[in-house]
Amino acid sequence: MKVVRVLGPVTVFALLAFVGCIYDPDAPCGKNQHFENDSCVCNPGMILDESSTHCIACGEHEFAGGTLCSCEEGYYRPVEDGPCVEVSDELGRECDPVANPCTVEPYTYCHVPDEGTPYCTQQNCTSNEMCGGRYGCEVRTSPTYCSLYPFGYGYPCTSDADCAGYEAKHCETFRSNVCLVDGCASPDVTCFGGSVCCDYGPLGVPLSLCVSPESLEDGKCPVNGTLLEE
C-alpha cells in the first residue's frame, strides 16, 4: 500500500520561511549587488570574490574593471596580489640607449620602438599589473618588457562615446566595460603589450578585440569569442 506523508503546519511554515530567505521579489540580489540587464551584478567599485558568490570592494587606488580590480592611472602593482603603488616619473621618460640612458630602478631599459620616441621602461615583467599606467607586459619578446599601450586602452566606459577621444575607441560593454582596440582579426592590426585577439565575427558580431590575458577564462575568450593566434 502506498503511504502518503502529509506535512504538518509547523513543517510547512518552516519550508515557506526557508524559501522566503532564499528569494525576496523586492530584493532579488545579494549584499552589495543590484539588478541590471536581467541579472545580479556587483555594485560599482566591487568585484566577485574567488568563490564567485560575494561582492568585495577594490583596494586603494584601484577600480573595478569587469571581474578584476585594476590599478588606477598612475599606479601599478609591483608584486602580484600586492597593493597598487604610484608609478615613478621615470617610466615613459624619453631616452637614448647611449646618450640619455635610463638609470632609475626598475625602469632601466630604454626601449626603441619601430615607430615613435624611445622611452624608459622595465624588463622581465610577468603581468600587466607589474607595469602600470598605460603599459602592459609584452610577452612576445625575450626578455619581456613593459610596453606602451594605445591611449585609453583599459579605461572604464559605458559606451563608445566614452572612448571616442582615445586610440582604443571601442567600449566593450558585454563584460568588462573598458575601452579596447578593435580590428585585430585584420592583418593591419596587431595586439600589443601581451594582449591577445578575441574574434567575435563567427558569432555574427563584427568585432575582434585586443584583450588582456587576465580576461581569458580557462584560456578561452570571454562570451564565446574565438582566440586568434598572432
Same domain membership, residue 84 and residue 139: yes
Number of domains observed in the structure of the chain = 3
Q: Residue length, the chain?
A: 230
pLDDT value of residue 182: 94
Same domain membership, residue 168 and residue 142: no
pLDDT beneath 50, residues of the chain: 1-23
| Residue-wise pLDDT tens digits, 110-150 | 999 887 899 999 999 988 778 876 788 888 888 999 998 88
Asked if 34 and 43 count as a contact pair (C-beta separation under 8 A), the reply is yes
SS3 letters across the chain: CCCCCCCCHHHHHHHHHHHHHHCCCCCCCCCCEEEECCEEEECCCEEECCCCCCEEECCCCEEEECCEEEECCCEECCCCCCCCEECCCCCCCECECCCECCCECCECEEECCCCCCCEEECECCCCHHHCCCCEEEECCCCCCEEEECCCCCCCECCCHHHHCCCCCCEEECCCCCEEEEECCCCCCCCCCCCCEEEECHHHCCCCEEEECHHHCECCECHHHCEEECC
Same domain membership, residue 137 and residue 196: no
Same domain membership, residue 172 and residue 144: no
Q: Give the Cβ contact number of residue 120 at 10 Å.
A: 23
pLDDT value of residue 184: 92
pLDDT value of residue 208: 93
Q: Which domain holds residue 188?
A: 160-228
217 Cβ neighbours under 8 A, 6+ residues apart: none
pTM, full prediction? 0.56
Same domain membership, residue 95 and residue 51: no
Residue 206 to residue 202: CA distance in whole angstroms: 8
Same domain membership, residue 131 and residue 87: yes
Asked if 109 and 120 count as a contact pair (C-beta separation under 8 A), the reply is yes
Same domain membership, residue 97 and residue 141: yes
| Among 91, 124, 148, residue at a domain's last position | 148
pLDDT value of residue 170: 93
Q: Domain for residue 127, yes or no?
A: yes
